[in-house]
């Protein structure tokens, strides 16, 4: 049985709370429409760009740590977390002011889109505790545990970031402007 540090104990409750609360709050807010507010239709390309930037920075961060630059790695990862929070705020704001867009493609492309969308949504929920646990392991300077979980967190987070861009590119022709 591994020894959990004081720092990890301090944050474990918050990891559980945030891992449950964020998806629930997003789901609830997704159903709430702010009346008499113009749709924030300019946001989807911005938050798709944030996903793209996150993907690039995630790869750069992994390259930095592999090259022994822990400081750059840490800074890039903090930026990625910040970008994810910004994405979430914009995503919720958009959906609170705009009706959901239906994908207009047909045939095989529709099933491909639905698969990418569903896997993106499910993994975006799963990535929350993974990112938080990975970050707290580094914060606690338990780099052996950090590295072990980061090998799981990184590809999932990268997939979520990249598929976020793909979902946007696939649905953007169907946005009502």
Enter the pTM of the model. 0.92
Q: Which of 79, 103, 101 lies closest to 161 in space, CA to CA?
A: 79
Total domain count for the chain?
A: 1
Does some domain include residue 1? no
Does some domain include residue 26? yes
Does some domain include residue 23? yes
Q: What pLDDT shows up at residue 177? A: 59
Q: What is the pLDDT of residues 104-149, one digit of tens each?
A: 999 999 999 999 999 999 999 999 999 999 999 999 999 999 999 9
Q: Which of 62, 73, 55 lies closest to 157 in space, CA to CA?
A: 55
CATH of the domain at 88: 1.20.120.80
Q: Which of 76, 167, 166, 87 lies closest to 128 in space, CA to CA?
A: 87
Mean pLDDT of 75-95: 96
């Amino acid at each position: 049985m591994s020894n959990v540090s004081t720092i990890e104990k301090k944050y474990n409750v918050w990891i559980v709370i945030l891992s449950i609360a964020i998806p629930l709050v997003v789901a609830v807010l997704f159903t709430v429409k702010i009346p008499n507010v113009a749709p924030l239709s300019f946001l989807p390309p911005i938050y798709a760009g944030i996903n793209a930037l996150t993907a690039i920075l995630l790869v750069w961060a992994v390259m930095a740590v592999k090259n022994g630059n822990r400081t750059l790695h840490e800074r890039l990862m903090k930026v990625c977390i910040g970008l994810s929070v910004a994405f979430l705020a914009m995503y919720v704001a958009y959906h609170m002011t705009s009706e959901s867009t239906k994908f207009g493609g047909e045939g095989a492309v529709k099933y491909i889109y639905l698969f990418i969308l569903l896997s993106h949504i499910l993994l975006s929920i799963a990535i929350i505790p993974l990112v938080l646990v990975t970050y707290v392991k580094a914060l606690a300077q338990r780099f052996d545990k950090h590295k072990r979980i980061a090998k799981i967190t990184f590809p999932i987070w990268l997939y979520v970031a990249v598929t976020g861009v793909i979902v946007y590119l696939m649905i953007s022709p169907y946005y009502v402007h």
